[in-house]
A and B are shown apart, each in its own frame.
Chain A
């Protein structure tokens, strides 16, 4: 459990970081907290030639409340966003979902951009971003582009980010009036990766539900305001479509049951909130 040899660089300005990415491309892995990456390096699952630590690029640590979205700089610690006093009003979903991210100790080190870029299928932030229909800003020496959440994460720990790009900001759309938000998940222990995580945004006419931890990326469905048997059928179809798998902690059937049963509960909770 010792990593391969690697170079460590610690830029303090974004331009510097982008230059390094531009010149070394695939050789570089970005570390922005390291909660997942360091363990993977110690297991030698990841063997970067260059490890670029971006948490000292101070210009990437910020929270901006815009009219449409909360813009969060990539290196903003999860703890900082969760502790932000405007979060419950501007994004009830994040306020409900983020306490499920790891533990308070890990949230003090883990960053918002790191979690989004890592794109673990069980992570809470990518799920919330997908349900909120948010977006990610990617920068390179070639320029800057904004990618919608559904286009950003393409699969298991796989994103649309190119080798010379880095995530610089994440945009979480602010809560809309008349929309209720709810979040719940089942884990083996507090702070574990979700066996099944459910995030819902509901209005009186629509249900938008995302599931994490089952498919290889957060998956979102949108329905009219179904109820009763119609909702059961929609949830059942969704549950099967996710093609969840057995692992050491839970069976595929259990995951489907959670999509049905926990999904229904979280939908009802979100609908209560929008009233």
Chain B
């Protein structure tokens, strides 16, 4: 690529990471560690407990009176200070940094408290009164896409906010000529990659400069910088974004920090002081971002010999409540490569994009690949099953042929290089596939469930910045101008003593970018990698600005490294020219190594690098005529292959395409549904490996996550939109004992489109592993419809069928008003008082107030309707709630229906109970059943406790009711009753409604 380039001794070597000493000794400084200006305030966010509700009123007056509180912001202030965020579609679906008039997902930001510390800010959150009017929620994509579904953005008139049809080649002909059409619909779940460090924003509005100065762990892409500055109604230059050298993981998610950047900017402007916000884990899991869940209906047109003539894919991608830029990236980033690793010529694609009442979707490592390949590779496995072919033989028959690279895939991807057949052959041999097949045969002969799964995928890297415009039809694209390319920057400086430093646009989060840049530069400048200082901080006011900069789409190993290489080559050339001039020898006789420039044939003739550098800095007049002074070079690079989409909607969505081929053996325990990965082999052709050690790290990380997605990870939502995965006890990431060591193999086909031949590797197994494991389980069990994560419970349910019936007669089904509730229960109790007395207790608020433990007040607000303030508790857990309860269908003294709702800092609940009283010997038999739905914090963190807690409270209630009836004398109202104290209907009523925690 460059005639002066040195072939190098560091690139390609497994040198240790220069970042590690800092990281491993705790010296690395993360955003939350950074010093802040004196007077910096702390923010905490009040979040919606409802999936969908109108905000009727917000009262912040009590919160403003709390100690340490400086300001409370709501949607009203946000509307005064900002505009809604831009989105890729022209649709009326505005998003702001705080909800305005309506909340659309559990966890949506509703109000912001700014206080002198985070504890006080959180205390004050509990004093903000928000009146919601809950609305029906659109939760699952298939339902949300239907006519008549609740509308997330009513002004759009539909939840399917984009639909596009694409056709490449002649898919209709392919399907007409097929011997067989194989079809499979998959439903890929919602998951994420949970970085250790959450979002951190420190924002300061500088009134003197009218500039927002923001330190945050934003990872790019800077496509959202204009989104933020436009929302804040300032020029881009008035929003200074600074990112630190170290981030505690990102995986794409740190892109979606931008609504919080805008929120804290506004807060800082309002309070006139810097404002700092650190996201906590509950906030992160609930409201940060998720990869979109996707439903894919796939069809393959196949010949009986296994030749795949064509594909049809209908994708329904779920973006949650808002389309946050750069969404819907996951649907379009892979568009050009929708035929995967296969040389299939004909493909039809329908992309539908649906919004639902869930956390917005965003960038997550893999970025659409895990979903897409789950659709493609599960379908391929089904083709093998339905044709009775060996799965691997089918794959091999259809892979893009060797020798056809660069290969233009029908939807536009230009596969740069590879020899897929050779890579598969090496994997079969070195990965000992034959031995694995023998293990399967043996296990099956013993009656065990054992399967082998395969996955062959193409991993794109360095996105075409124009791919998202494919969502718009050709004529619309023409109006807004063509988009493409992917500009990368790297700047190298040499100081007067010959020391080398580098800055680059890659915003690393632990990948080791500084190490690789040092290797590339060291090779060209003849110094040691460890002597190069890489400062990976980024500052939009100071550094070269590119719309593409950031850490995403495995961009570093092809993009930033190329700009570093070109900058280093230019500096090398300059150093050689200066040295030749000083030594008065021809430039091409010189070599640059070990801090010296010397003659190749006569090393005695030479000059130290520091002398050459010193000349450039101190003595510009001594430089060769016409040479620019100084020793600083910025490489700017954008590959010409990244063209805008053409009129046929073909788009080369990425610059490089790695090949990944995985297989694994998996055993499933019939009794428990437990899964054991026997062996996992993963083959990577990622072009030239710049540092095999880092490549290994990326594969380990991607594999561990892929395994998590296959077996553990899912953000679970209930039908009503309540969110159930708010802690790491609910959202399960694999830990060391769960992750077997994969066998990693490499095959190198250098990319012809990058100067170093490198491609991406970081997202590889995120895409291949989930489906490879699923395919193995399909092979083991014969099951077709497998929805991730494949938990033991799920698999056991699929494998075991009906269970033995209960020994006694089945209980009557729940009443209609109970049946669809999330938590249900029933019971009966004996109370030693006649039904009339029990009934009186039920309807007399004064009695209730006296006897309800933890009841602070009861007010009759209408016929048989009460408002109450109460503290509910089970064990150590206690929560304060406002209750609204009403009784209906009163059949004194026999039965009633109790309806009600609870609201408090721990969440919201709404439920119903049916109660009947019957006179029995010596008292009353009370039968009850209840059902309730719950949303907010308790649902997100305490799901497994809810049922048990309700039962505890019911039991306590009836014991206490009994003793109340026996001893009618009123006791003083008290929130701390003595043990075995009396209790009341209130407790039961409230319990019926749910809040057990």
Contact = CB atoms under 8 A, between A and B. Distances in A.
B122 A261 contact: no
B952 A158 contact: yes
A44 B797 contact: no
B945 interface: yes
B793 A1 contact: no
B280 interface: yes
B796 interface: yes
B943 interface: yes
B41 to A, nearest CB: 15
Nearest to B938: A45
B997 interface: yes
Contact of A250 (B791, B875, B877): B791
A155 B876 contact: no
A113 to B, nearest CB: 15
Contacts of A258: 672
Given A1-B281, A189-B734, A257-B800, A37 B876 contact: yes
Interface in B933-970: 937-938, 941-945, 947-949, 951-952, 955
A157 B877 contact: yes
Interface in A151-210: 154-159, 162-163, 186, 188-193, 195
Nearest to B824: A245
Interface stretch (B368-376, B384-392, B722-730, B841-849): B722-730
A119 interface: yes
Contact of B949 (A44, A156, A215): A156
B118 interface: yes
B716 interface: yes
Given A156-B951, A248-B724, A257-B800, A2 B119 contact: yes
Contact of A216 (B280, B735, B738, B952): B952
B792 A186 contact: yes
Interface stretch (A124-132, A136-144, A232-240): A232-240
Contacts of A154: 952
Contacts of A254: 673, 792-793, 796-797
A253 interface: yes
Interface string A12-52: 00000000000001100100000001011001111100000
B943 A247 contact: yes
A248 B792 contact: no
B39 to A, nearest CB: 20
Residue of B877, B937, B942 contacting most chain A CB atoms (<10 Å): B877
Interface in B873-913: 874-879, 905-906
A275 interface: no
Interface size class of B (residues with CB under 8 A): 35 or more
A157 B876 contact: yes
A43 B941 contact: yes
A155 B793 contact: no
A59 interface: no
Interface string A225-246: 0000000110011001000010
A25 B803 contact: no
A237 B803 CA distance: 12
A129 B654 CA distance: 60
A250 B672 CA distance: 11
B874 A236 contact: no
A261 B735 contact: no
A: interface residue count bin: 35 or more
Interface in A43-67: 43-47
A100 interface: no
B674 interface: yes
Contacts of A3: 119
A261 B948 CA distance: 24
Contact of B803 (A44, A118, A250, A253): A253
A4 interface: yes
Interface string B692-730: 000000000000000000001010100000001101011
Contacts of B712: 188-189
A240 B724 CA distance: 25
> Of residues A2, A232, A236, A248, which shows the largest number of chain B Cβ atoms within 10 Å of its Cβ?
A248
A68 interface: no
A262 B725 contact: no
A1 B877 contact: no
A46 B807 contact: no
Contact of A192 (B729, B803, B945): B729
A107 interface: no
Interface string B645-673: 00000000000000000000000000111
Contacts of B671: 257, 261-262, 265
A93 B841 CA distance: 49
A187 B867 CA distance: 42
A45 B906 contact: yes
Interface in B781-798: 791-793, 796-797
B863 interface: no
A251 interface: yes
Residue in A2, A29, A249, A265 with the greatest tally of chain B CB atoms within 10 Å: A249
B672 A262 contact: yes
A216 B948 contact: yes
A260 B952 contact: no
Contact of A257 (B119, B714, B796): B796
Contacts of A5: 119, 123
A121 B949 CA distance: 11
Contacts of A249: 732, 791, 793, 944
B724 A232 contact: no
Nearest to A184: B672
Given A240-B807, A261-B672, A157 B976 contact: no
A129 B807 CA distance: 29
A242 to B, nearest CB: 11
Interface in B500-523: none
Contacts of B640: none
A233 B942 CA distance: 33
Contacts of B829: none
Given A155-B952, A156-B949, A193 B673 contact: no
Nearest to B871: A47
B737 interface: yes
A43 B937 contact: yes
Contacts of A1: 122, 280-283
A156 B952 contact: yes
Contacts of A163: 979
Q: Can you list the 8 inter-chain pairs with the closest CB atoms, starting with the nearest?
A: A157-B875, A216-B948, A156-B948, A250-B793, A190-B737, A254-B793, A1-B280, A155-B952
29 contacts: A40-B876, A40-B877, A45-B876, A45-B997, A118-B875, A118-B876, A155-B874, A156-B948, A157-B877, A186-B792, A188-B712, A189-B738, A190-B738, A191-B735, A191-B737, A192-B729, A195-B793, A215-B948, A216-B948, A216-B952, A237-B807, A245-B947, A247-B944, A248-B724, A254-B796, A254-B797, A257-B800, A258-B672, A261-B672
Given A37-B876, A237-B806, 15 more contacts: A44-B905, A45-B906, A45-B942, A46-B876, A155-B955, A156-B949, A156-B951, A157-B877, A186-B792, A190-B737, A190-B738, A232-B804, A248-B716, A253-B803, A257-B803
